Structure 1
Amino acid sequence: MKFLAKYNRLLFAFFVNIILLSPVFAQVDTKPLDKYFVQALTDWQVPGMAVAIVKDGEIIFAKGYGVLEEGKNNKVDAHSMFAIASNTKAFVSASLAHLVWEEKISWDDKVVSHLPYFELYDAYSTHETTLRDILSHRVGLGTFSGDVIWYKSEDTAEEVIKRVKFVPQKYSYRAGFGYSNLMYITSGEVIKSVTGMPWDEFVERHFFAPLEMTRSVTSVSDLADLKNVASPHKTIDGKITPIPYAIWDNSGAAGGIISSVEDLSKWMILQMNSGINGADTLFSPKVQVDMWTPHNNYKVSLASQKNMPSKHFSGYGLGWGLSDYQGKKIVNHSGGYDGMYSRVTLIPDEKLGIVVLTNSMTGITTPITMKAIDVILGSGDRDWSTEALPRAKKFADYKKERVAKRVAAREPDTKPTLSLETYTGDYYDPMYGDAKVLIEDGHLVLDFARAPQLKSDLSHWHYNSFKLEWREVHAWFAFGTAQFVLNNNNEVTGIEFDVPNDDIFFDEIHFKKKN
């Protein structure tokens, strides 16, 4: 009996130790992060931010910092809603993964088998492009190329896709990485073709509902009756300024979801569980392997190697970026919306996930994420935020210098070659569509037919170039000029643009005058 009692005590002690040492019950000290996040918010001049961390299937940290809108007192919390932009892409790839798991489609299906109107720059690429190709940014288009087609446009997703054939080829087919929002718009329409329901309805039904993501929507129009919603911001003349939400409905499959860190924690847990949600399978572990396998690799630059010496590869799977950190696989994605940046990062081996949502256009999300990883895993004590700030300032200075260079090149005391009436008329570009130049109150006005929010007054800059005086504030660009092109007979034949920015490329538009 004494032996049995002793045996039972030893057995009990054994199981207690197992429980205490189990990752599920391991206590993680997140206090150092709280102080760090507060300081970073101030250093980066971010109005508001929310951060959540999941570990071993549990939410171990979820908190808001700052305010929903600059100049107001409403505080950010874990339920505050932010635009997550391109983090939407993982939901779209997961939706297609669900259909692959159900054997309704294959990753290797040709896009034209679902969307007969889909066309790229040549017949071969059009015919051969598969779902894998459009999800991994390897169709040969340049990064962000063609985004000017959909940006603030009233065109539908299908109408946008029908213009893709005019977007210029940047790389050899399947031989380069060109991040393409257009291909994710296409992916959303594939979901609609296969299931008969729009991509957003499919995501709501198959992910939001079963995961109880009650603070997640797919369109700005869904925010009207909701509270605790963050406002987008842009720095204008050195001042952090709230700006209106931009409607991304036609590009929603590329970046339309608006959510909270609490909801996205549930999404990260699903990812770490390989698509299994309790007794339900939302996508299978097998198809997740496909999503987390590099389909398109790109170099780790010397600057990246210097900043992160343990990083050995970078690539893109299906809806996720892939890399490594200190010997551990990193699965992540960033998001850039008008006035809001975000980041979702997973370390599957550690069952660790981190989401950062902000209402500003700064680089704070990466240092916040990396600091959280180091603290949770005990992998270092770098001050990622302090290190990143000078790089951010250098890039901001570059953008200012880019505009200053153009201002310095202006020739003063010049006049237009022709009368204002001569510049008026209808213009057309095959990729973009129609525009009209007219006279209002004695000055020229440029009216983009399908994007009235881009309407701009034209003030004379020099010679036949006019400054674009946008009637609305735009997050990605401000300064810009439009040059009227003349032929040898002094007749206006078209318009060329110079709008320096890194996202919406007006120089891809080459308007020709129709009359």
Structure 2
Amino acid sequence: MRLDRSVCHWGIWAFAAVMALWPHAASADPITAERITIALSKFEALAEGAVADGAVPGLAIAVVHDDKVVFLKGFGLREAGKPELVDADTVFQIASLSKPVSATVVAALVSGGIVSWDSKIADLDPAFRLADPYPTSELTIRDLFAHRSGLPGTAGDDLENIGYDRATILHRLRFVMPSSSFRAGYSYSNFGLTEGAVAAARPTGKSWEEVADEKLYRPLGMASTSSRYADFLRHADRAALHIKVDGAWAAKIKREPDAQAPAGGVSSTARDLAQWVRLVLGNGVYDGRHLIAADALDQTHVPLMTRGKNPVSGGESFYGLGWNVEFGRHGLSWGHSGAFSTGARTVATFFPKEKLGIVILANAFPSGVPEGLSDSLADLVFDGEVEGDWIKAWDGIYASLFGPAIEAAKAAYAKPPSPTTPARPDSAYAGRYTNDFIGDALVSNAGDGLVLRLGPAGVRSYPLTHFDGDLFLTYPDAEMPDRPAGVSFVIGLDGKASAMTIDFLDDNHLGTLRRVGD
């Protein structure tokens, strides 16, 4: 989730300065095994209650303390309306929790001397371009994992939504104008981080997916973890994605995230992720083996870009390399959340001083259950009691992500003006349109109306409904089927459309396509 895009440049010295000055809010008493046991007995009831109350269909939770997995359990259902239960080995799509996992993979490459965090993308992947030549020449893996390349946050997500593959999306990022100066702004970019990961893997001669297997999943025995969607589908014990339909959770939509696998395409289990937590909290040591050099891993937790304040706790929040770094009421924490609006919610929270790590996986969106439970467990561990209804507070944050935009779109197109200007003949709009970023689009007759086809070979279809004049509506989001978007045409002197603007692809002002041919 993106909170703030203001700017701050940090180094190791700044991190040390913040740590020295920040008042540690946690209890001065040591976090003993006994305290953890007491906290977990209360916490389990909270998790059971969240599922029983219908806050999510299912959950899987892992807690690690002092290099031991002290809690590992599933709750609720893999899919609403079906009897199969979630357990510790149920595979979830973890969405953007993939980012710190992928940062750990790159740390392993850095540890092995294959790349450094400051390796230039121009050296690793010479074909990659940003819009401007100077950032292109200076861009590093560190820049992309810190979201400070200048790429707008949604750059590439739009192309993924209409069916383009990773190579095409990364190539077309060169057409996106920056949202800030290079290294001067934080803008959370799935495909920026993806390029950083893919470039880091290139010297190995292997794909990112192979490198993740080799450097992290296999050494930790994470047998159910993968960066390939096909592997997720092969598991019988897997969690479906759920959204709310008429007030009830429903498994309606699939999410195939291979194009952005390093940023959002990992699937895993609570059991497997507990091993990753052990590695990270162990500073690269796992079962007595030094798998990753501590300095390579430490760099991922240096706060590089400010994100403002945590919207619920008020803690100061920064971004490192694929990690959120936060200074809150329980002191320093590392973590990351993940969300697919198609129905996934995840979170990991690490308290490095206390060697405590929490992973919570849920199969529904919107929901603040993962953060709410994580915050509740932290309260129980540090203070002995829960300070507030954190699930309710986080529910409000996630419910607000799309609600206002949906309502604004509905209001804008609630009813056409009166009198309504009729549409021109379908032949005025039908034809092929193109631009460098979106590629080809085809508007054609379909039954009694028009349909817009986008993506490679027109793989995505969007029926167009006339609204007023040369403006049509479509409903592009399967997870938000009642959210309209405009598709407008500019008519030339010949009475035919010369251009078309697709609102739902225009976040970065690249949604206007010119008509080509007849």
The verdict on a shared fold, with TM-score over 0.5 as the criterion, is yes
Q: Which residue of 2 aligns with 1:9?
A: none
Task: Report whether the alignment pairs 1:330 with 2:339.
Answer: no
Counterparts of 1:476 and 1:254, CA distance in 2: 26
User: Could you say which residue in structure 2 is the equivalent of 1:185?
Assistant: 194
Q: Cα deviations across residues 18-76 of structure 1 (Å, max 9, x unaligned)?
A: xxx99467651212112212223355631111121111111111222221111111111
For 1:221, give the aligned amino acid. Answer: A
One-letter amino acid matched to 1:495: M
* Counterpart position of 2:424: 418
How far apart in 2 are the matches of 1:144 and 1:476?
A: 20
Q: CA deviation at 1:276?
A: 1.2
- Look up the match of 1:110: 120
Q: Give the deviation of 1:230 after TM superposition.
A: 0.7
Q: Spell out the pairing of 1:476-515 with structure 2 (5 A cutoff).
A: 478-487=483-492, 490-499=495-504, 505=507, 508-515=510-517
Task: Indicate conservation of the 8 Å contact 1:234/1:475, yes or no.
Answer: no
Residue 59 (structure 1) aligns with? 69
Counterpart residue identity of residue 376, structure 2: K
> Which residue identity does 1:360 align to in structure 2?
A
Contact 2:145–2:196 (8 Å) recurs in 1: yes
Helix, strand or coil at the partner of 2:499: strand
- Whether the 8 Å CA contact 1:63–1:78 is kept in 2: the answer is yes
List gaps (5 residues or longer) in structure 1: 1-20
Q: What is the Cα deviation at residue 177 of structure 1?
A: 0.6
Q: 2:223 aligns with which of 196, 214, 220?
A: 214
Residue in structure 2 matching 1:357, options 355, 361, 364? 361
Taking a change above 3 Å as real, the CA distance of residues 482 and 108 of structure 1, as seen in their structure-2 partners, is same
Rg larger in structure: 1
Aligned to 2:177, which of 135, 150, 168? 168
Instruction: Name the amino acid aligned to 1:66.
Output: G
Shift, 1:329, TM fit = 0.9
The partner residue of 1:261 within 250, 260, 270 is 270
TM-score by length of structure 1 reads 0.87
1:32 aligns with 42
* Aligned-CA RMSD value: 2.5
2:3 aligns to what? none
Q: What is the 5 A alignment of 1:267-346?
A: 267-300=276-309, 304=311, 307-309=312-314, 311=315, 313-326=316-329, 328-337=331-340, 338-346=342-350
CA distance in 2, matches of 1:202, 1:291: 18
Q: CA separation in 2, counterparts of 1:456 and 1:439?
A: 12
**1:278 to partner: Cα distance:** 2.4
Distance in 1 of aligned mates of 2:126 and 2:100:
25
For residue 240 of structure 1, report the CA deviation from its aligned partner.
2.2
After superposition, the Cα gap between the structure-2 partners of 1:396 and 1:130, relative to the gap in structure 1 and judged at 3 Å, is closer
Deviation, 1:354, is 0.7
Q: Give 1:118 deviation, angstroms.
A: 1.0
State the 1:444 CA deviation.
Answer: 0.8
Map of 2:25 onto structure 1: none
Letter paired with 2:80 = E
Q: Relative to structure 1, is the Cα distance of residues 88 and 475 closer, same or farther in structure 2, using a 3 angstrom cutoff?
A: farther
Q: Match for residue 443 of structure 2?
A: 437
Match of 1:145 in 2: 155
SS at match of 1:53: strand
Distance 1:152 1:270 in 2: 37
C-alpha displacement of 1:237 = 3.9
Contact preservation (8 Å) 1:436, 1:449: no
Gaps of 5+ in 2: 1-29
Change beyond 3 A, Cα 1:299–1:22: closer
Give the stretch that moved more between structures: 480-489 or 158-167: 480-489
- Does residue 466 (structure 1) correspond to residue 455 (structure 2)? The answer is no
Partner of 2:372, secondary structure, is helix
- 1:191 touches 1:198 (CA, 8 Å); kept in 2? no
Question: Secondary structure at the residue paired with 1:163?
Answer: helix
Equivalent of residue 78 in structure 2, options 45, 68, 72: 68
Query: Is the CA contact (8 Å cut-off) linking 1:91 and 1:203 kept in structure 2?
Result: no
- CA-CA distance at 1:97 after TM superposition: 1.4
Deviates more, 1:430-439 or 1:89-98: 89-98
Distance 2:257 2:82 in 1: 26
Change in Cα spacing, 1:386 to 1:131, as seen in structure 2 (3 Å) is closer
Partners of 2:407 and 2:199 lie apart in 1 by: 42
1:74-153 pair list within 5 angstroms: 74-153=84-163
Q: Give 1:442 deviation, angstroms.
A: 2.8
**How does the TM-score come out when normalised to structure 2?**
0.87
> Alpha-carbon deviations, 1:363-422, whole Å to 9, x = none?
222111100111122365222123444555555652442233123353256354421012
Question: Is residue 155–residue 173 contact of structure 2 (8 Å, CA) maintained in 1?
Answer: no
Contact 2:91/2:235 (8 A) holds in 1: no
Counterpart secondary structure, 2:353: helix
Q: Is the 8 A contact 1:232 1:245 kept in 2?
A: yes
Tell me the equivalent position of 1:6. none
Q: How many residues align?
A: 484
Alpha carbons of structure 1 residues 396 and 137: separation in structure 2 relative to 1, 3 Å: closer
